[in-house]
Structure 1
Amino acid sequence: MSWQIRIEHSTGHRYASPVLSSYNEVRIIPQTAAAQLTLEATVRTEPAAQTYRYWDYWGTQVTAFDLHTPHTELVVTGRSIVQTASAPERPRDVPTWSALAEDRIADEFVEYLRPSASTPEHAELVDAARELAATHDPREFVPAVGAWVRERLTYRPGTTGVHTSAVEAWQKGEGVCQDFAHLALVLMRAAGMPARYVSGYQHPSASAEVGETVAGQSHAWVEGWLGEWWGFDPTNDVPAGEQHVVVARSRDYNDVPPVRGVFSGGASTSLGVTVSVTRLA
């Protein structure tokens, strides 16, 4: 079943003294791809700024802008309407572990096989990945990794930050969806399966009423290469489907933060992030 979802994402900063200039990149526009169609998308800033868009190396649409008038607050709001599709069936004709180990796979997917800043290699996690791979073929491996991660991480907001690595979250035993995704990626890559980080939004209710607006959330999940990319949400133990809206795919969070910028002025305080979602159809 396909859904149509409206998303409003607002984030901002307040500054201790007027900022004279700032340069910013925003990644909050959902992608259009085979299983997702972005029908409308706008990004507005307060103070108002002229924006321009481009696609970065990872295929994420970036809204860039700069401000050169003094301001003490900056608020960025993205609004979009997206049509999503139900979760695809897990591929049947999946490469074996031996096939995934071939040089052509390593060459094509090298960026999704190597450790990254948030998904570093760790000896105990490598051993865990090999044990899982020994008892699960690639088709069953991704959900098995999700189960392994959920047994070892407790979902607890506020205990980790955007710079927390998968190893640090695993050692703490708690984190948020970003940490669940990063830890799953460590295991998948250690086993030799190309795996990528997916960020976007999730509607919180599978039985959402049409027209009802609820508090949503930014979200993160993973995709594994099973002969084709297949998405799985380790935090919620479900394949990525109609409740998931893709904004970016990359190696880890550091490649595609929602907002990144530099400014000249006093210290900043976050005004927080709010996300509201409405199922339209």
Structure 2
Amino acid sequence: MILTVNHVTTYQYDVPMRSAVQTLRLFPSRFDGQRIIRWDVSVEGGIRGGSFKDGAGDRIEGWSVRGPVSKVTITASGQVETIDLAGVLRGHREQVPPLSYLCETTATWVDDALETLANEAVLGAEDDLDRAHRLSRAVSAAIAYKPGVTQAHTTAAEALSLGEGVCQDHAHALIAAARAVGLPARYVSGYLFARDDGEPHEATHAWAEVHVPNIGWIGFDPANACCPDQRYIRLGSGADARDAAPIKGIALGLGEESLDVAVALEATQQ
């Protein structure tokens, strides 16, 4: 499948800021399931800085905007050819050892309820791959998809307690559950063309990857009860949503910030 993406993020300030600095992780991953046909990232009025690949294999680029700054517009657009690899991250080059993803973060802290969910889910599992699939199904069943009930800072434990959340909450909960039973897991940001019911997905998406010995990293999307396929574009990964954020930045000044995000995905070939 060839997917066309136009992703525009706009930060606006009620009073001009002295300057702004952005760190962008907005570049599709290079692995056997994705081929970049064309891709461009720009910051309106910005100055492009350094670019590098981190230990997880993600490309990161820095930008700065000189003041006075009333608005910062970041655009990522292009075309990516995708192939269904049943969620397996094959051919991806990285240097960070999988065991480093067993460390907890604030967002993926494991409380008693998450530990119970994880341990009950893997009872009778045949192997680690089966355990990973069982954990993903358990999270899907325990947290119903419902926008607006959680916030960016909501933890996996809080989302499980609510029984509702969005893709970020599903990913955090699966990461926490996997780590609770000794499986390394991490957060992945990207795009999703459409859900299984055919409804368009109007924003960036998130899922989790679990490391299974002798196979490698495998993606699981509890929000949609599936593994990533040709409808998904993978951008980058991290220990949690904050670590894997496609955009991180800071603006110097006293203004209040507002955010608007518009994402359009189109399948140009199937």
Q: TM-score range by the shorter chain?
A: 0.7 to 0.9
- Pairwise CA RMSD: 2.3
> Which residue of 1 is the match for residue 40 of structure 2?
42
Equivalent pair of 1:21/1:68 in contact (CA under 8 Å): yes
Distance in 1 separating the partners of 2:80 and 2:46:
25
Does residue 221 (structure 1) correspond to residue 207 (structure 2)? The answer is: yes
Query: Could you say if the C-alpha distance between residues 239 and 65 of structure 1 is closer, same or farther in structure 2, counting changes exceeding 3 Å?
Result: same
Deviations 1:124-160 (A, max 9, x none): 3223212222222322222322221122212121222
**Paired residue for 2:104, among 115, 133, 139?**
115
**Paired residue for 1:266, among 254, 261, 268?**
254
> Which residue of 1 is the match for residue 191 of structure 2?
201
- What are the residue-to-residue correspondences of 1:234-245 with 2, within 5 Å? 234-245=222-233
> Which residue of 1 is the match for residue 92 of structure 2?
none
Does residue 66 (structure 1) correspond to residue 86 (structure 2)? The answer is: no
Matched letter for residue 126 of structure 1:
E
TM-score, normalised to structure 1, is 0.84
- What are the residue-to-residue correspondences of 1:75-94 with 2, within 5 Å? 75-88=73-86
**Paired residue for 1:135, among 121, 124, 128?**
124
> Which residue of 1 is the match for residue 13 of structure 2?
15
> Which residue of 2 is the match for residue 156 of structure 1?
146
Matched letter for residue 216 of structure 1:
E
How far the C-alpha of 1:71 sits from its partner, in A, is 1.9
Deviations 1:187-240 (A, max 9, x none): 1111111222211000015698xxxxx663211112222222221211111111
Distance in 1 separating the partners of 2:131 and 2:250:
41
Equivalent pair of 2:113/2:157 in contact (CA under 8 Å): no
Distance in 2 separating the partners of 1:151 and 1:65:
41
Matched letter for residue 173 of structure 1:
G
Equivalent pair of 2:187/2:244 in contact (CA under 8 Å): no
Distance in 2 separating the partners of 1:30 and 1:216:
18
Distance in 1 separating the partners of 2:112 and 2:263:
38
Distance in 1 separating the partners of 2:107 and 2:197:
34
Distance in 1 separating the partners of 2:106 and 2:57:
20
Query: Could you say if the C-alpha distance between residues 89 and 109 of structure 1 is closer, same or farther in structure 2, counting changes exceeding 3 Å?
Result: closer
Q: Could you list the runs of 5+ residues in structure 1 that have no partner in the other structure?
A: 91-106, 209-213
Query: Could you say if the C-alpha distance between residues 111 and 45 of structure 1 is closer, same or farther in structure 2, counting changes exceeding 3 Å?
Result: same
> Which residue of 1 is the match for residue 93 of structure 2?
none
Query: Could you say if the C-alpha distance between residues 75 and 170 of structure 1 is closer, same or farther in structure 2, counting changes exceeding 3 Å?
Result: same
Distance in 2 separating the partners of 1:112 and 1:25:
22
Query: Could you say if the C-alpha distance between residues 6 and 89 of structure 1 is closer, same or farther in structure 2, counting changes exceeding 3 Å?
Result: closer
Equivalent pair of 1:202/1:218 in contact (CA under 8 Å): yes
Equivalent pair of 1:177/1:220 in contact (CA under 8 Å): yes
Distance in 2 separating the partners of 1:20 and 1:131:
53
Equivalent pair of 2:117/2:138 in contact (CA under 8 Å): no
Equivalent pair of 1:197/1:223 in contact (CA under 8 Å): yes
TM-score, normalised to structure 2, is 0.88
> Which residue of 2 is the match for residue 179 of structure 1?
169
Distance in 2 separating the partners of 1:277 and 1:11:
15
How far the C-alpha of 1:53 sits from its partner, in A, is 2.1
Return 48-57 or 73-82, whichever deviates more.
Answer: 48-57
Distance in 2 separating the partners of 1:145 and 1:274:
32
How far the C-alpha of 1:51 sits from its partner, in A, is 4.2
Does residue 167 (structure 1) correspond to residue 153 (structure 2)? The answer is: no
How far the C-alpha of 1:119 sits from its partner, in A, is 0.7
The structure in which a higher percent of residues are helix is 1
